[in-house]
Structure 1
């Protein structure tokens, strides 16, 4: 039974490492969009990062689409 417990612990570590790697990859992709000269990539990054930024009085988006 010890073998299975050890295997489960190793799988937990692998899943956490995979999740952390994907998170870092996503942040790098987002930052690459900010660093490029393509305004569409920058706009898309802002839309994904802050989707709920709206003017409370008018209901309009804070960022032009």
Structure 2
């Protein structure tokens, strides 16, 4: 029974690590989205 308890604890750690990674990736993507507010970068020259 101890093996199953240890396996569940390892799975909990893996799930938390994946969740933290996805959360950090989401925050980075949100911050990159706000970088497009530079008026000079939006100048479409013909």
Q: Which runs of 5+ in 1 are unaligned?
A: 39-65
Q: Which has the larger radius of gyration?
A: 2
TM-score normalised per structure 2: 0.73
Higher relative contact order (CA 8 A, sep 6+): 1
TM-score (normalizing by structure 1): 0.53
Task: Give 5+ residue unaligned stretches, structure 2.
Answer: 39-46
Query: How many residues align structurally?
Result: 38
Query: Larger helix proportion, structure 1 or 2?
Result: 2
RMSD (Å), alpha carbons: 1.5
Moved over 2 A (4+): none
